[in-house]
Amino acid sequence: MISALMLAQAIALGVIGAIVAIIGLTKRPFNDFVLGAAALSLLTLVVQAVVSFIAPFTGNGPTGDLLEYWTYLLTALVIPPGAVLWALVDKQGRWSTLIVGIGILACAVMVYRMHQIWFVQVG
């Protein structure tokens, strides 16, 4: 994990998630913008997965539990597609867009926690 990448990713996911959640709170229906935001969020998480896989081979291993880190990362990778799937099932519902926004915000928090597992823990 690269610290600057995590910071940029957490900020981007937080902003994207907040925008989508605000759109959802205005009760706008699920649309292509929301789908694109979820896709962009997933793309950032895939980049993080690739970087996290390569990092230990370059001497940048985690200080925390590697299993816990990968559990967070794999769970975060499932959230955007799961939220989109849920939103597509309830496409005309009032809450479909908000679900995607909250899912993206959850990913932002999980990326921050992954940073803590990778860098902060000692022992």
pLDDT for 20:
96
**Nearest CA-CA partner of 88 in 40, 38, 44:** 38
What is the per-residue pLDDT for 106? 97
Share above pLDDT 90 across residues of the chain, in percent, rounded to a whole number: 75
What is the mean predicted confidence (pLDDT) over 5-26?
95
Look over the chain and give the mean of its residue pLDDT values, rounded to a whole number.
92
Q: Given this model, what pLDDT does residue 116 score?
A: 92
Domain boundaries, the chain: 3-120
Its pTM stands at 0.92
Q: How many CB atoms lie within 10 A of CB 52?
A: 21
Residue-wise DSSP of 37-51: HHHHHHHHHHHHHHH
